[in-house]
Amino acid sequence: MFSFEIKRAYLTDSLLVSYIGFIPQKFLISTFLSNPNKTIILEEELNTLDEVVLEVKKAKYTSVKTFGENRQL
């Protein structure tokens, strides 16, 4: 759990809350005026990642690894 404070914004601005594995949610800033202590609960995304690509770059060295479905990191 965490909290944040919005210091300056227009009422028509929006806040996008997202996290990997969850469905993003978008809120108008005006929503927080009527409820400044609003609790946001993200719903879990039913679709999972099919592939993860890791890329490591160092001077004169590049390595790319792809992990597909049914493989573990």
The residue assigned the tokens 């997202």 is 18
Q: Higher confidence at residue 7 or residue 18? A: 18
- Model pLDDT, residue 62: 60
Domain ranges of the chain: 14-67
| Residue pLDDT, tens place only, 57-73 | 776 666 666 666 544 44
Q: What is the mean pLDDT of residues 16-24?
A: 88
Mean pLDDT of the chain: 79
